[in-house]
Structure 1
């Protein structure tokens, strides 16, 4: 499969309104399949055949390992999903006529019952205070937005100077698929923004900027997070927001609206006990 075609596939994903991270993941998975194909059959892959896909699925299930362990069903489904998108693209381009991947090919996974949030408000406040005392006002404002606004990290880094209003305490967020929603800001977020803006020196339209260029990259943020915690991540703060919002009296529909969940089932998971709490209960049996 030629590099030009893979470049067109990437553009197709952009048109399909896939997020930056999804596109990056899909392209990586496709390249992994192409490398496996060439190594397995001794020839470059020109199109997708069902027989090859089933062989690859078997390889993922029984041979390929990650850190010495077999891949889990969610990871395998992610790889198959990327190939399914490639399949649709190849059909559109007229390179092949049939869809060789079906829903039945995906591994059925039982939805995790436990609440994925395993940090407390004390953990989050200690994390924020460490960042504040280190003089990291930009990171402090970002962490506060994630923890008390519930944004995805990509959504937060895409916030522009004109997207928020301190008077109305509202922030316009552009989420997955280009969907727009309004997130309501509490005093913690507003105050952290105001203090950050006092020291922010950049003419970029984006709120969170690097010293060298415009919008800061999420990989840089991940490194900064690790300086202060080996447990708290940007996405864990999103879990914290959803859990805390429900505990504070938000309804399921309100949390789904603020967090930008497409399905209420996603919000409902935060009403459940954490994994640690379920383990504790298991010991009581």
Structure 2
């Protein structure tokens, strides 16, 4: 701060008299001193509240905001220092202890690191701190794990064992569009164009995009809607009265239960998204088009979802190298 004041005074010295310079210096020091006192008086909880409000304005989902809140609240419960004075060493120690307390993987700890980094970056951008203590805490190295996708055979097993038309429609829509579960539960019946086999979804940051579904999804969606007796505008509702809009947790629990009943490994909504991306690329869809369908702003993110099928790699090797 002192360096900035000196820079301002040096810049103005050739335009002002000595008396004017003294007055300018007095005003600047007094003003900044008042600001510093005001900022120091702000409790950690208030900083967190302002940060979460900023994230809401940016368009973050409530789920993401809850994750931010839980992560930063836990940090603040372990570090008594005012956030404006937290050091890099304190956060390094916290992350190390966090891993011991929870016996968690490097992937989990790195997610915690990213959330904390977002909080301190916001403090820096808003001029509450001069420099984020997270700058010297770099990404934690993690093993690159090739995540499994749902095979065509397992998709058929899931379809065949659905007792409810709603669940069958959910599976087909997730598998053919690759939409996020949050986008799925926010869909209304009016968002679906059956003639064009497409629908409009609102992704992260409320970004609108158009996604497309196949003939199976169309048939099962129409059957489900035609058999409904409620008047809810939501595309997917609970099975029992009062037929409220289905929640994310409702979809997750339903798919997990169905997967366990069939002894399938970790069936959850996001796995359908990854499976769709992998299948599309395996069938020759350009990665840029897959990126657009999934709603990714960075193509690197799409590449992480689309794990190339190993059997296709073997076939390509035999074709080009044999």
TM-score past 0.5 threshold: yes
| Alpha-carbon distance in structure 1 between the residues aligned to 2:115 and 2:98 | 20
- Flag the 1:57–1:203 CA change in 2: closer, same or farther, 3 A: farther
Aligned match of 1:217:
247
| Alpha-carbon distance in structure 2 between the residues aligned to 1:244 and 1:173 | 21
Aligned match of 2:160:
129
Q: Relative contact order: is structure 1 or structure 2 higher (C-alpha 8 Å, sep ≥ 6)?
A: 1
Q: TM-score, normalised by structure 1?
A: 0.80
* Pair 1:71-2:105 in alignment: yes
* Pair 1:14-2:56 in alignment: yes
Aligned match of 1:193:
221
Number of corresponding residues: 262
| Alpha-carbon distance in structure 2 between the residues aligned to 1:244 and 1:32 | 40
| Alpha-carbon distance in structure 2 between the residues aligned to 1:266 and 1:63 | 27
Aligned match of 1:164:
192
Q: Superposition RMSD on alpha carbons, in Å?
A: 2.8
CA contact (8 A) 1:173 1:183 kept: yes
- Flag the 1:80–1:49 CA change in 2: closer, same or farther, 3 A: farther
| Alpha-carbon distance in structure 1 between the residues aligned to 2:209 and 2:250 | 26
| Alpha-carbon distance in structure 1 between the residues aligned to 2:151 and 2:195 | 30
Q: TM-score, normalised by structure 2?
A: 0.72
Once the two structures are superposed, residues 250-270 of structure 1 have per-residue CA deviations (whole angstroms, 9 ceiling, x without a partner) of: 221121111112222233342
CA contact (8 A) 2:124 2:130 kept: yes
Aligned match of 2:259:
229
* Pair 1:80-2:116 in alignment: no
Cα offset for 1:121? 0.9
Unaligned runs of 5+ in 1: 38-42, 279-285
Once the two structures are superposed, residues 28-65 of structure 1 have per-residue CA deviations (whole angstroms, 9 ceiling, x without a partner) of: 1011111222xxxxx4x5324342x4323233235633
CA contact (8 A) 2:188 2:234 kept: yes
| Alpha-carbon distance in structure 2 between the residues aligned to 1:214 and 1:7 | 30
CA contact (8 A) 1:161 1:205 kept: yes
- Flag the 1:271–1:4 CA change in 2: closer, same or farther, 3 A: closer
CA contact (8 A) 1:50 1:100 kept: no
Question: Which deviates more from structure 2 when the two are superposed, residues 229-238 or residues 77-86?
Answer: 77-86
The equivalences for 1:133-282 within 5 A come to: 134=163, 136-210=164-238, 211-212=241-242, 214-230=244-260, 231-269=266-304, 270-273=306-309
| Alpha-carbon distance in structure 1 between the residues aligned to 2:94 and 2:45 | 25
Q: Secondary structure at the match of 1:162?
A: helix
CA contact (8 A) 2:188 2:233 kept: yes
Cα offset for 1:90? 4.0
Q: Which one has the bigger helix percentage?
A: 2
Once the two structures are superposed, residues 68-125 of structure 1 have per-residue CA deviations (whole angstroms, 9 ceiling, x without a partner) of: x3531x322322222233234445666x2323234441325368373x2333111112
Aligned match of 2:5:
none
CA contact (8 A) 1:77 1:106 kept: no
- Flag the 1:5–1:205 CA change in 2: closer, same or farther, 3 A: farther
- Flag the 1:271–1:235 CA change in 2: closer, same or farther, 3 A: closer
| Alpha-carbon distance in structure 1 between the residues aligned to 2:221 and 2:85 | 53
Once the two structures are superposed, residues 154-187 of structure 1 have per-residue CA deviations (whole angstroms, 9 ceiling, x without a partner) of: 1111112221211111211111122211111211
Q: Secondary structure at the match of 2:168?
A: helix
Unaligned runs of 5+ in 2: 1-42, 261-265, 315-322
Kindly report structure 1 stretches of 4+ aligned residues shifted beyond 6 Å. Answer: none
